[in-house]
Structure 1
């Protein structure tokens, strides 16, 4: 029951009083009017505070979605469609088929689910454009908070569906095929992979101090990878903080544990082509890595001879495959060209999804890798022409 108080001041001045229904408390006309107006104002305020389920233009997604543009590009400009999502229509439909069971949602009595096609296409646009979620919402009519969940969920689905596209060779025969590729393309025999790390710039996580601060004076996580001569990832490890050196990141991977304990079925040392010299199969990297019997790096500049200088040139020429791969990845997925404002755990899924898509598109042979993307050697002058 609401308790009504009598104003002593009002009674003192002889103001007329009234009785309030449902109880026997006496109020002055002034107090009664004040209470009524207060109740009206509170009711209006409560009504104004009523939350909306969604903004009106989000509810008109069927009118404003980018899906209309996507259909128009398929029908009229296939090259622009390929630039829009970094793949042709057939490849897109195949990818959609692979991940559909993992991301498809059911309509409810409250609202319609966002279609699978929009979920995949908006995720690809986020990866290839590097657009912020607040900007991306205007191209797809999906709220940023919803976009964030869709993108991570779709990236998880891509990783699961394409997991076979990134595989460490499992047999001696597979390792030998990798070595044959380096021999044929770069004239570097017995090479079974080029190793390097790439810093993925991120916004400094809250309460992280200098944990992710790197020597480039930015905050990052590290993408450590091994690639073959065809610019395809054979191993990726994502998530180490940028403070750790490339050599330290590699040593903390499961791959290195198996590699250093001879559990990867790497071929036994054999004779080099056209010689009687028996040498091991090796990974190659730069000066940041440790020299071992199965890992080669360039000679130090202080101890170079003519023969060692030639060796450094040929090793560096083969090693640039991994740097070119990072360049292709950054060019195709512009998300890597800005500081990403996501937690490191979510960022790891973004990076892994891009790596899997890179291999998937490369294997589909859809001109994903162009000649001017990579370094090549001028055989007349013996110089390396850098890619774009």
Structure 2
């Protein structure tokens, strides 16, 4: 009996060991299979083969080089500047954007990063499209783009600097008087909405009156279509009064921090407040001839800021699509585009502003030939107008009335009556 019991127990123990062994082997095989599947899902290469051929076949090495040598005009259209200008800009930003090679991979050349950034500004193309053109990973573009934008703005910021002395302001006044027949004028004001993608966790913030999301670019422009002051980043909810009121320009003007010349003026449309230093047109119905002439003269001078914004949007078409970047990067992008605008306007006016780019008025007939930018679509919207008593100032009205009378007497120009649709009366002297 004892021997039979012992044999039975040994049989049970053997079966348990066998079961445990089978389970261990099954778990081992299952684990190996899972690891094998994970291994197949891992990246098949460290760098995709077509990206590895960037130096031989990428746009930086092939297409742009061919255009530079064979078709300079198309090269300029691609990057919005000539090859010598690109080289000059590259030398300026190179120390700020250069990265060191590592043991794993070579750094993207500064030349390629600058070309991609300029092409993005020029077109607003998606990062994936730029990745295919330049053979650079799209996630790498999203990393270096803000760095390159900041570098460009840093080196070109002196071209967008606010005048610091009264003499510098007086030079701007001379430009407005000579070109636009408006004395004492230091700048033309306007603001535009820059469309952006809806920021995460954003409901009403950045939501503008057109039902889209935007930040505001507020600017003052001189007689040569250059930005002299920019304020970027107020959210799209802002209307006309809050944009100007919250700008550092208004604060500096009221606290006399700009060495503003005595009697200096800026002009804006009806969205701005009427003050002793900021004039706007008459807006009520039944305007007199004198008021219509004043409005024409003011509009003629203010046309520079309309054209500056128009040229900016037509040259840098990233503004013609909602910008899919975070708000901080969009702010840097806008500042960079404005600084590039000024740099190109001042260093190569003929290529950046070819004939027909801006509005051209025939002084004999009063007919205005619209600039080429007006035929292009734009998502830049004017700031919302808020009509209230805050837009009117008694002292400002006295200044406006003074200029209205001067434009009919000492400051009149021969073509102003024709320009408002009134034929001048010709007098014939008796023989």
TM over 0.5: yes
CA distance in 1, matches of 2:360, 2:15: 98
Measured against aligned partners, the alpha-carbon deviations of 1:100-134 in whole angstroms (never above 9, x if no partner) come to 10001111111100011001011001110110112
For the pair 1:116 / 2:116, whether they are aligned, the reply is: no
TM-superposed CA distance for 1:32, in Å, is 5.7
Return 49-58 or 229-238, whichever deviates more: 49-58
The equivalent position to 1:40 in structure 2, one of 22, 32, 46, is 32
Q: How does 1:1-388 map to 2 (within 5 A)?
A: 25-27=17-19, 31=23, 34-51=26-43, 52-67=45-60, 68-268=62-262, 280-302=263-285, 304-365=287-348, 366-388=350-372
TM-superposed CA distance for 1:29, in Å, is 7.4
CA distance in 1, matches of 2:139, 2:161: 34
Measured against aligned partners, the alpha-carbon deviations of 1:147-188 in whole angstroms (never above 9, x if no partner) come to 011111000000111110001111111111111111111111
TM-score if structure 2 supplies the norm length?
0.79
TM-superposed CA distance for 1:329, in Å, is 0.5
SS in 1 for 2:233: strand
CA distance in 1, matches of 2:209, 2:172: 33
TM-superposed CA distance for 1:375, in Å, is 1.1
TM-superposed CA distance for 1:377, in Å, is 1.2
TM-superposed CA distance for 1:27, in Å, is 3.2
CA distance in 2, matches of 1:29, 1:264: 88
Aligned residue pairs total 361
CA distance in 2, matches of 1:265, 1:35: 82
SS in 1 for 2:231: strand
TM-superposed CA distance for 1:146, in Å, is 0.8
Check the 8 A contact 1:227/1:233 in 2, yes or no. yes
CA distance in 2, matches of 1:159, 1:194: 23
SS in 2 for 1:373: coil
Query: Closer, same or farther in 2 for the Cα pair 1:229/1:48, shift >3 Å?
Result: same
Check the 8 A contact 1:128/1:333 in 2, yes or no. yes
Check the 8 A contact 1:196/1:246 in 2, yes or no. no
Partner of 1:276: none
CA distance in 1, matches of 2:272, 2:20: 89
Return 295-304 or 47-56, whichever deviates more: 47-56
TM-superposed CA distance for 1:30, in Å, is 5.3
**Runs (5+) with no aligned partner, structure 2:** 1-7, 373-431
Alpha-carbon RMSD across the aligned residues, in angstroms, is 2.1
CA distance in 1, matches of 2:12, 2:220: 91
CA distance in 2, matches of 1:186, 1:198: 23
SS in 1 for 2:333: helix
Measured against aligned partners, the alpha-carbon deviations of 1:332-374 in whole angstroms (never above 9, x if no partner) come to 0010000111111111011111011001111112520123121
Return 194-203 or 357-366, whichever deviates more: 357-366
Measured against aligned partners, the alpha-carbon deviations of 1:52-103 in whole angstroms (never above 9, x if no partner) come to 5333322332233211111111111111111111111111110001111000
SS in 2 for 1:367: helix
CA distance in 1, matches of 2:322, 2:12: 71
SS in 1 for 2:19: strand
TM-superposed CA distance for 1:301, in Å, is 2.6
Query: Closer, same or farther in 2 for the Cα pair 1:32/1:257, shift >3 Å?
Result: closer
**Runs (5+) with no aligned partner, structure 1:** 1-10, 20-24, 269-279
Query: Closer, same or farther in 2 for the Cα pair 1:295/1:251, shift >3 Å?
Result: same
